[in-house]
């Protein structure tokens, strides 16, 4: 434990409730365009569903790196017709504004206290696929006390590409074994572990709503499995 100098965090799902946050803003949007607010959860899920395929083109080298705000905006235009909305009839500025819903997500109840305690003796930074400005806005919205904003845009690589992890450790001037990846997603931890990172799992069983079936428990040999971020901090004596 003494060797962990920095904690780096997955953000969407692990630290913030993206589904409720996006659905909250989507509900108003849907109603403005003649749809029901009851479709908001499905809208959030459909929008998020295009997240991995969009990044995959960049991971495969089929497209140069662009920040997540750009991918979210493109994906939003793809989602509209699924909900019967003609994207040609929605002003671009209104879509730009809805796209910022990802910048205004609320933290889970334990997030701020857990991060603050871990920060007292360690470096803490996001290692998210979210871009720098998105992470800045989210931190100001939710009082996330980051030491630095790291992640995909600094590394110019999307998780789970090894470069996303290895370049983050390099920027921190730390060997991978001195960096602990914290995530609610087993796949993220598996990729980090392959790069030599230490790993900590926290279940977020409501990330995908009440019917969630994935990532309900740790599925790998993670270094720490904690109830939440406050529990993780306690295990490190902070």
Q: Which is nearer to a copy of itself, 1 or 171 (CB)?
A: 171
Query: Could you tell me which residues are beta bridge partners of residue 125?
Result: 8
Q: What H or E segment, with its residue span, contains residue 96? A: helix 92-99
Structure tokens at 232: 């993780």
Position 150 contacts a copy of itself (CB under 8 A): yes
Helices (H), ranges, 1-67 = 18-32, 40-49, 51-59
Determine whether 205 is exposed, middle or buried from the number of CB atoms within 10 Å of its CB (0-12, 13-18, 19+): middle
CB of 171 to a copy of itself, least distance (A): 5
CB of 186 to a copy of itself, least distance (A): 29
Quote the CA–CA distance of 157 and 59 in Å, as a whole number: 7
Q: Which is nearer to a copy of itself, 173 or 211 (CB)?
A: 173
Query: Could you tell me which residues are beta bridge partners of residue 123?
Result: 6
Q: Which is nearer to a copy of itself, 170 or 227 (CB)?
A: 170
Structure tokens at 134: 């998105």
Position 149 contacts a copy of itself (CB under 8 A): yes
Quote the CA–CA distance of 181 and 190 in Å, as a whole number: 10
Of 69, 188, 207, 215, which lies in the binding site for a copy of itself, with binding defined by CB under 8 A? 69
Of 37, 46, 82, 136, which lies in the binding site for a copy of itself, with binding defined by CB under 8 A? 136
Q: Which is nearer to a copy of itself, 90 or 148 (CB)?
A: 148
Span interacting with a copy of itself, options 50-58, 149-157, 188-196, 221-229, rule CB under 8 A = 149-157
Binding stretches for a copy of itself (CB under 8 A): 69, 123, 131-133, 135-136, 139-140, 146-150, 153-154, 171-173
């Amino acid at each position: 434990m003494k060797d962990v100098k920095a904690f780096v965090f997955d953000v969407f799902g692990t630290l913030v409730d993206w589904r409720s946050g996006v659905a909250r803003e989507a509900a108003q949007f849907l109603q403005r365009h003649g749809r029901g607010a009851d479709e908001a959860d499905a809208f959030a899920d459909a929008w998020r569903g295009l997240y991995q395929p969009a990044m995959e083109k960049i991971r495969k080298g089929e497209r140069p790196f662009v920040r997540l705000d750009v991918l979210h905006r493109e994906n939003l235009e793809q989602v509209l017709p699924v909900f019967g909305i003609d994207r040609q009839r929605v002003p671009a500025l209104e879509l730009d504004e809805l796209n910022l819903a990802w910048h205004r997500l609320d933290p889970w109840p334990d997030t701020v206290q857990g991060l603050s305690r871990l920060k007292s003796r360690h470096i803490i930074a996001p290692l998210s696929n979210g871009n720098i400005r998105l992470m800045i806005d989210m931190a100001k919205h939710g009082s996330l006390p980051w030491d630095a904003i790291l992640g995909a845009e600094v590394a110019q690589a999307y998780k789970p590409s090894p470069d996303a992890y290895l370049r983050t450790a390099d920027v921190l001037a730390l060997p991978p074994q001195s960096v602990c990846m914290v995530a609610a997603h087993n796949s993220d931890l598996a990729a980090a572990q392959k790069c030599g990172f230490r790993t900590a799992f926290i279940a977020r069983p409501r990330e995908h709503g009440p019917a969630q079936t994935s990532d309900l428990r740790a599925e790998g040999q993670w270094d720490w499995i904690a109830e939440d971020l406050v529990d993780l901090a306690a295990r490190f004596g902070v």
